[in-house]
Amino acid sequence: MEISQINSSLQRILIVEDNDDLRNYLVDMLKTSYNIQACPNGKDALIIIREFNPDLVISDIMMPEMDGLELCRTIKSDVATSHIIVVLLTARISTENQISSYEVGADDYIPKPFEPKVLKVRLASLLKQRRKIQTE
């Protein structure tokens, strides 16, 4: 599990991705704008969520231990974590996978390969919307 330095003024993102290269790429891409933690599967993610209290989780769908759909379902069905934004990243871009993702409560679904600038803007937009809802 990789942990970036904690800056309390930054929003927190947990990256859940079993591919080491992609996980490290996402950490590097986002670590200047957010507090980042990362892990390789949904089972580890649930442990980290309790301590790290992320604002947003980016998760792959296909992973060992616990896949992204089950992770999302678990996050969204718990009153203590249901407010956390969940973005699912996947190479499986079928309509069925999109539907399954939204049925378990995903806030967004982004197909791989993704354009880094689009991902960054999408994350910022989701976090801004959530902040606006919380302050109203």
Average pLDDT, the chain: 91
Summarize the confidence of residues 100-129 as an average pLDDT. Answer: 94
Residue 7 pLDDT class (50, 70, 90 cuts): low
Residue 134, classed as helix, strand or coil, is helix
Q: How far is CA 23 from the centre of its chain?
A: 11
- Residue 44's identity, in one-letter code, is D
Chain segment 10-31, per-residue pLDDT in tens: 899 999 999 999 999 999 999 9
Q: How far is CA 121 from the centre of its chain?
A: 14
pLDDT over threshold 70, residue 4: no
The predicted pLDDT at position 81 comes to 97
Label residues 22-40 b or e (16+ Cβ within 10 Å = b). Answer: ebeebbebbbeebbbbbbb
Residue 8 pLDDT class (50, 70, 90 cuts): low
Out of 55-69, 92-106, 110-124, which region has the weakest mean confidence (pLDDT)? 92-106
Query: Residue 84 corresponds to which tokens in the numbers above?
Result: 């956390």
The predicted pLDDT at position 133 comes to 77
Summarize the confidence of residues 76-90 as an average pLDDT. Answer: 95
The predicted pLDDT at position 13 comes to 98
Angle, helices 68-77 vs 95-103, to 10°: value is: 30
CA distance 35 to 24: 14
Contacts by residues 115-118 (CB-CB < 8 Å, ≥ 24 positions apart): 116/29
